Structure 1
């Protein structure tokens, strides 16, 4: 079936990036397979992460079907677009339905995008990973691709105003080689190995990031362990 909506949306995203003066630095796109199913796994620090994670797959000419909370599909503006782009709604009360839909997509050769932290991390550090992405890859025999995003939190994230004007923010995307899986490895161990790989990619993106906060007021987007004022994971757990 022809893709009537997704390609124009990608075109709109390109225009938006130019208008905002964003500086995209994408490395590792060659790891995304040109055909066949794959599970693309990313950290989650912004409401716009799916835009940049999906855009990173365009060099491979792939369209990523993201798993997203059902409320996004009920919105009068985003809902029709999400359905037309064949993204996968997740009802947390009936998670098995979304899981089955994701399996069908993978078996039909689609790339499925997953944010295994489930929600945005306000500390901008990795939270624990849910095991669904690994289970889907194991069950369908498709590659498991780790990804890290950095800089997207400066545009629009939880608890902060949107900054969607022309700010020239750098946006880093790092995609790793497929995670090698064996049938003997425990699900929990493989999930932790996936998280560790995303952490490595995240640290690489952070180290290469070409911008620093202008002053203490602007350091909100930097994690505390890197000298910023974002809340620590411990502080968030106590809140």
Structure 2
């Protein structure tokens, strides 16, 4: 995809966001060669800070393939926010749909148009005490099977040091200057599922394969061994997400290997 196709609104967002990101953070970006140069694809990214989308969007923008994020459809109805969401090509998710596949129809259409569709399979900030990826939702797997598009696993690390997840006061702590690590891996091998009916069991298997790939990348970044069993987050009325306990800071990451401005 050429820069000509990025569009006015996405360029405007980049003009506003990139300068402070360049000033406030160092970058350790790896695996840009795994991002497809053309045709539609899916990226599946872990989530451990509110800054993750900005960090990842910056990385993806510099590959020449801009990120199209999923957002609930109601956001697209507002005059200001809706215009921005539509202008930057973000993707509405129709959660009121009773058809699971239909809920992601806009994502499927975007992949068919040749876009990069971004999924956070955990669907929320990780609650794992060590900030490892949790059990994923099946949306990315469903869209991958419906489109046959490659799924690129992406691991992020470092943003949580500037903005810890679920802190009672969401204080921004940019100093000392933090390093945002973003690593894209090889496409997840889903060849065994080509032409297979997307049953609940199949969707779970594909989702687990995607989460395994993300976790392996994060383990490489951190130089640590992830938990043997993935954390399963269950929302309950008695424990609202906003009141979840503080997550301890994770150990230092592995030495940087590749840096891209």
The TM-score range, normalised by the shorter chain, is 0.7 to 0.9
Match of 1:107?
112
In the alignment, which of 149, 159, 176 is matched to residue 166 of structure 2?
A: 159
Q: Which residue does 2:241 correspond to in 1?
A: none
2:57 maps to 1:54:
yes
Q: Aligned runs of 1:65-214 on 2, under 5 Å?
A: 65-70=68-73, 73=76, 78-94=81-97, 96-123=101-128, 124-160=131-167, 161-163=170-172, 165-184=174-193, 186-207=202-223
- Correspondence for 2:11 among 1, 7, 17: 7
User: 1: CA distance between counterparts of 2:173 and 2:72?
Assistant: 23
Distance 1:24 1:194 in 2: 25
Deviation at 1:197, TM superposition (A): 0.8
CA contact (8 A) 1:46 1:157 kept: yes
**Cα drift, residue 72 of structure 1:** 5.3
**Secondary structure of the corresponding residue to residue 122 of structure 1:** coil
- Unpaired segments ≥5 residues, structure 1: 209-218, 228-239
Structure 2 CA distance for partners of 1:2 and 1:33, relative to 1, 3 Å: closer
| Separation in structure 1 between the aligned mates of residue 142 and residue 124 of structure 2, nearest angstrom | 19
**1:117-151: CA deviations, max 9, x gaps?**
11111332211111211221121111110001111
C-alpha contact 1:89 1:98 (8 A) present in aligned 2: no
Q: Which has the higher helix share?
A: 1
Count of residues in correspondence between the two structures: 214
Report the equivalent of 2:45: 42
- For 2:236, the equivalent position in structure 1 comes to none
Secondary structure (helix, strand or coil) at the match of 1:138 reads helix
Most deviating of 54-63 and 170-179: 54-63
SS of residue in 1 equivalent to 2:180: strand
- Give secondary structure in 1 for the equivalent of 2:17: helix
Q: 1:19 aligns with which of 17, 20, 23?
A: 23
8 A Cα contact 2:61 2:67, kept in partner:
no
Query: 1:77 deviation in Å?
Result: 6.1
In the TM superposition, residue 87 of structure 1 has moved relative to its aligned partner by 0.8
Q: What CA distance in whole angstroms lies between the structure 2 residues aligned with 1:9 and 1:65?
A: 13
**What RMSD, in angstroms, separates the aligned Cα atoms of the two structures?**
2.7
Contact 2:73/2:93 (8 A) holds in 1: yes
- Point out the more displaced range, 75-84 or 145-154: 75-84
Measured against aligned partners, the alpha-carbon deviations of 1:169-213 in whole angstroms (never above 9, x if no partner) come to 1111011001121244733222211111100111122239xxxxx
Corresponding residue for residue 230 of structure 1 = none
Per-residue deviation, residues 82-110 of structure 1 (Å, max 9, x unmatched):
22211113343336554000000000100
